[in-house]
Structure 1
């Protein structure tokens, strides 16, 4: 298993996770497909509403709602096998999949700890003008058992020495942080802010812990883990995203070498 650590791996996460030792992961932090593509944001079986969400990727498309539910249960079940009894799981969600993710975790008797609301001051305007602007996403945080890691005192620094609440403000990735492709467009449609993921990891893990992201995407979990002295394993089915994630990691390594 050592050959998997601090590396990104291309393939089906449910297959690659079988190579990971049982109960060896301390924290799972991931941003899975939301089932929000197919020309819009509605469930494939739903006939109401209109298309206004820009994510339209093959990896985020499912023919039927039941297919998405099966997919969610499958990867969470395998994640459960490798998560420590004292470990926790954090899953990024939108209103399109938060119910499905929470249901799959509750079916395995996980304990809900928080739903963290990520508020985006620079949220994209409503394209259809038929509903309120979607300016939030969510991170559901569930515990497998007790005692789980929660760095309570460290989190106070983000709220002027007081208890940190569950609504956090972070702008969507923009400017230099946003990874661009050769065409100048965003290389990954749902890239998450590094500061957001660093706070999540700092909150729910310790130095030296092993963190898994089964949908590593642009590599933010790997970078955040590395900067906080955590070990990590990244997986993604898309070879282009693995390349992007590795390029980001190499760029940071080279920058550190130049500083030395």
Structure 2
């Protein structure tokens, strides 16, 4: 199979189910991926037609079924899913919720949490209902459905690794709680009792909520620069680096194995490499695999050479 390898991982051209079947059981610490989204009509994506909406859930479940035994007992599977409208109707499909229920009921995954990615640079879609008829709001949220196979749901995770900066007000409260809390304690409307001492500990940041806001507007990273220079069409649905970084930091440690079964432009591999995680990225398109090496290239000549060789069926060793 054509592709490339780096210090910590490899990107492979192939069918994800076939590649997963070559891995040892219980070997993957995190699968994080964004599959081709369900559409009302068939639309060209890489070397295959996207599955029609009526068949999408069953199609996606086959990958989750193959991944189950390969996932470590305390591992996680995170799938980025976007809603879609039913054909010809201003009605959202419920397929994401059907998928969620089937994952739990049919495949025995445990549902940890829904984490919502707010794409702050999202276009006002769907155009017909948002821009033309003006009867719907812009949809900027994707669901990142987080699953594990740990029976009690206690998979490897540490929110201390993904703390966010305190708000200015919270930092002021930590620094000088006496300015906000009069006396030794205060009772909030909820009934919780807060003491001055309880607010004096600085934990290095705040625990993030399950709403993550990142733009998906990168325009000048190495991947896009080399795609443009070589007149190669960039992958149409690229993950923002920060979103993958969040999941990798939250759910894995150095040396763990991170896998993306719909690799696309291989943001996952790049993040994992930067964070010293072992990784594997799989995509059925030789062109997408070839262009994803741009994330690891130092100059245009190198990018051109590697791209052409991968498309021709070679495997490049970057180690």
Q: TM above 0.5, one fold?
A: yes
**Counterpart Cα distance in 2 of 1:166 and 1:159:** 16
C-alpha change, 1:63 and 1:214, in structure 2 (3 Å) is same
Offset of 1:155 from its aligned partner? Answer: 2.1
Q: Is the 8 A contact 1:35 1:60 kept in 2?
A: no
Identify which of 25, 37, 55 aligns with 1:34. Answer: 37
**Counterpart Cα distance in 1 of 2:284 and 2:212:** 30
**Counterpart Cα distance in 1 of 2:243 and 2:121:** 15
What stretches of structure 1 of length at least 5 have no aligned partner? 40-54, 255-260
Tell me the TM-score normalized by structure 1.
0.81
Match of 2:312 in 1: none
**Counterpart Cα distance in 2 of 1:245 and 1:29:** 17
CA root-mean-square deviation: 2.6
Between the two proteins, the alignment pairs up a number of residues equal to 235
Matched, 1:165 2:202: no
Match of 1:80 in 2: 68
Match of 1:111 in 2: 110
Tell me the TM-score normalized by structure 2.
0.67
What stretches of structure 2 of length at least 5 have no aligned partner? 85-94, 168-204, 303-319
Superposition map of 1:105-144 within 5 A: 105-106=103-104, 107-126=106-125, 127-128=127-128, 129=131, 130=133, 131-144=136-149
Give deviations 1:119-143, integer Å, cap 9, x for gaps: 1222112322242111111211112
Give deviations 1:187-209, integer Å, cap 9, x for gaps: 01110111111111101111110
Offset of 1:112 from its aligned partner? Answer: 1.4
Superposition map of 1:122-201 within 5 A: 122-126=121-125, 127-128=127-128, 129=131, 130=133, 131-145=136-150, 147-158=154-165, 161-177=205-221, 179=224, 180-181=227-228, 187-201=234-248
**Counterpart Cα distance in 2 of 1:137 and 1:251:** 33
Q: Is the 8 A contact 2:254 2:275 kept in 1?
A: yes
SS in 1 for 2:276: coil
**Counterpart Cα distance in 2 of 1:74 and 1:190:** 21
**Counterpart Cα distance in 1 of 2:37 and 2:97:** 11
Match of 1:49 in 2: none
Compare CA radii of gyration and give the structure with the larger one.
2
Match of 1:231 in 2: 278
